[in-house]
Structure 1
Amino acid sequence: MAGDIRTVARLMRDIDDNEPGWQDVLKLLYAEARRARVIGLTGSPGVGKSTLTDALVERLRARGLTVGVVAVDPTSPFSGGAILGDRIRMQRHATDEGVFIRSLATRGHFGGLTASARGVVTVMEAMGLDVVLVETVGVGQDEVEIVRMADTTVVVTVPGMGDDIQAIKAGILEAGDIFVVNKADREGTARTINELKGMLNLSGDHNRRAGWEPPVLATSAVDGTGLDELVATLEQHYGLLTAEGGKMLAERRREGLKREILELVQAGLMRRLLVRLEEGGGLTPVVEKVLEGREDPYTASEKLLSSVLGA
């Protein structure tokens, strides 16, 4: 809470490595943490999320705000490692004491966010950071998970993706508060903007919350086009959330916490189940019963669940 970088880095490492005791630390921090403004950036790979995040950090710092960045990188399914290249792209902020960047690997966690990301955000809030940017790995419309954490969700795409733009239909289309067509210097920007606007109009009222109609902005992180407009739009959306005593912001966070608590319960059940399985010789005996036709998988799963719940 005093902002000691080494302490923060060690705690984040323990959270990411799932070391024993990190939850006890977070229990203490959660009660004391000042809730930061969380902005999520999501979109397919190669749309320039990291470069856009870097540009946003620069502009937020110019306003005197302290900024945390949680950058989630894809994990290799073979080695289990990650490149963690976001730190390389944001190297120019490395000496800025008002910026803290943490890269996380997905470790096989789908939905665009690593399981430890929420814990890392809590640590950044305890540090007293004003804004936390969460940049998610591009995994298509499953990225709606970012909505559970972010106060404002920015969906990033680029021109020239062709039919790939259909990938942001459905869930992520409803989840986005602001849509950004990055690399706007490319050919086809106007067409992509029109397609997005058309898709938003067809999606009905799902993505229109209390007078907010998600805008579609054109940006270029390379030459700075549209970045000031994006920052102004982010401020406008946050202003709407915090109006009337923060009623909308509280409701959004309430829904996010509800999902987070359920996920923690689910994770706890899984841990207990794995312990019970180890005590009984692992999953192999159960699989063998099903394979031999002595039991069906549905009954087997019900028995396993009952062993955890004690019912």
Structure 2
Amino acid sequence: MSGAKEQAAGSGRGGVRQVDVAALVEQAREGRPRAVARLISLVEGASPQLREVMAALAPLTGGAYVVGLTGSPGVGKSTSTSALVTAYRRAGRRVGVLAVDPSSPFSGGALLGDRVRMSEHASDPGVYIRSMATRGHLGGLAWAAPQAIRVLDAAGCDVVLVETVGVGQSEVEIAAQADTSVVLLAPGMGDGIQAAKAGILEIGDVYVVNKADRDGADATARELNHMLGLGESRAPGAWRPPIVKTVAARSEGTDELLAALDKHRAWMDEHGVLAERRRARAAKEIETIALTDLRARIAAPASATSLTALADQVTQGTLDPYTAADTLLTDLTTAP
């Protein structure tokens, strides 16, 4: 993706620089990385033009296959992501990568910078890599990840790989954002024991035992297979997650992983699961935007005053909290 000149259309209210959204989207469609970067920056910064950006992108989305990669720190997510990029590029597909990192406590930016570990793809015009900071958002993803995925989708990426920050058992948000979720484990990290517990090891569509050249890899795969079989009550024809062993640092097993991903996508298409997952993802996105807007209205001066008055009544025992909440919602939704 070659460079591009950002388009500006003067300054908006309060001196905020306005961009020519139509021109920026067109440049992104042409594969210009600076335009893609600018659009994602508008998303991350919650720009006043964000609604305009999303409206322009909406007709251009829906073509990208979104693959989420998650797992504990140190299992080789970045290395596996890089190996998948190589495999997809060999197949002639344009790839976008969102690598979610912890936030710097000082700047709020991405702390680790996974792009460093994918530097071999930096000069490839068919690859766009972006690190995103969680900025305190839980669940293993950045809060702006859904909109950033839309940007890469609209920019013509055939595949979008979303690598989560190193997560624990309960941080499973990637399952709601990806078409296919890949859970990575590694021998010698206690993952075999964790396989018996609820949480992250229940969300995978494909499981990967990376660093399979280490002692204990076969045992980890066996324990994982046992976990998948416990209490199994899948309907006939239902998807059973495969277990793939890889050594991502040497690109061993990557072709098998790619085949498992292609097989899962074909199964989803055949059974209508892909459309249903994308519908659920859109519903969740709509809900999140609506709740964010509602919180902003509650924080507005007039609503804050009303909330304080209601809180006083609840404290005094003249009003119960549910009736107070109903009153606040009515005020918010009926206000001009």
TM-score of the alignment, normalized to the shorter chain, above 0.5: yes
Partner letter of residue 135 of structure 1?
A: E
How far does residue 143 in structure 1 lie from its aligned partner after superposition? 3.2
Partner in structure 2 of residue 294 of structure 1: 316
Q: Secondary structure at the match of 2:252?
A: coil
For residues 186-225 of structure 1, the aligned pairs below 5 Å read 186-205=214-233, 210-225=237-252
Partner in structure 1 of residue 255 of structure 2: 228
For residues 145-224 of structure 1, the aligned pairs below 5 Å read 145-162=173-190, 165-166=193-194, 169-205=197-233, 210-224=237-251
Cα displacement string for residues 102-122 of structure 1 (whole angstroms, at most 9, x for unaligned residues): 111111111111121111111
Matched, 1:241 2:286: no
| The 10-residue stretch of structure 1 (271-280 or 129-138) with the greater mean CA deviation from structure 2 | 271-280
Matched, 1:308 2:332: yes
Aligned 8 A contact 2:297 2:303 in 1: no
Partner in structure 2 of residue 27 of structure 1: 55
Structure 1 pair 306/276, CA: closer, same or farther in 2 (3 Å)?
A: farther
Structure 1 pair 276/253, CA: closer, same or farther in 2 (3 Å)?
A: same
Residues of 1 paired with 2:236 and 2:41: CA distance? Answer: 37
Unaligned runs of 5+ in 2: 1-28
Residues of 1 paired with 2:331 and 2:103: CA distance? Answer: 33
Aligned 8 A contact 2:43 2:147 in 1: yes
Q: Secondary structure at the match of 1:90?
A: helix
Cα displacement string for residues 129-180 of structure 1 (whole angstroms, at most 9, x for unaligned residues): 1100011112223332212221111001111122674278324333210011
Residues of 2 paired with 1:135 and 1:71: CA distance? Answer: 5
Partner letter of residue 252 of structure 2?
A: T
Residues of 2 paired with 1:223 and 1:65: CA distance? Answer: 21
Partner in structure 2 of residue 263 of structure 1: 288
Unaligned runs of 5+ in 1: none
For residues 137-152 of structure 1, the aligned pairs below 5 Å read 137-152=165-180
Residues of 1 paired with 2:326 and 2:115: CA distance? Answer: 45
Aligned 8 A contact 1:34 1:128 in 2: no
Partner letter of residue 223 of structure 1?
A: R
Structure 1 pair 168/199, CA: closer, same or farther in 2 (3 Å)?
A: closer
How far does residue 38 in structure 1 lie from its aligned partner after superposition? 0.7
Give the count of matched residue pairs.
305
Cα displacement string for residues 229-255 of structure 1 (whole angstroms, at most 9, x for unaligned residues): 111111111121223xx7222122122
Partner in structure 1 of residue 10 of structure 2: none
Residues of 2 paired with 1:303 and 1:77: CA distance? Answer: 38
Residues of 1 paired with 2:40 and 2:93: CA distance? Answer: 22
How far does residue 257 in structure 1 lie from its aligned partner after superposition? 1.9
Partner letter of residue 253 of structure 2?
A: G
Matched, 1:253 2:278: yes
Q: Secondary structure at the match of 1:173?
A: helix
TM-score, normalising length: structure 1:
0.87
Aligned 8 A contact 2:192 2:223 in 1: no
Q: Secondary structure at the match of 1:250?
A: helix
Aligned match for 2:300, one of 253, 275, 282: 275
What is the CA RMSD across the aligned residues, in angstroms? Answer: 2.8
For residues 65-104 of structure 1, the aligned pairs below 5 Å read 65-77=93-105, 80-104=108-132
Larger radius of gyration: 2
Q: Secondary structure at the match of 2:82?
A: helix
Aligned 8 A contact 1:36 1:132 in 2: yes
Residues of 2 paired with 1:83 and 1:189: CA distance? Answer: 30
Aligned 8 A contact 1:156 1:181 in 2: yes
Structure 1 pair 297/277, CA: closer, same or farther in 2 (3 Å)?
A: farther
Aligned 8 A contact 1:60 1:67 in 2: yes
| The 10-residue stretch of structure 1 (212-221 or 301-310) with the greater mean CA deviation from structure 2 | 301-310
Where relative contact order (Cα < 8 A, 6+ residues apart) is larger, the structure is 1
TM-score, normalising length: structure 2:
0.81
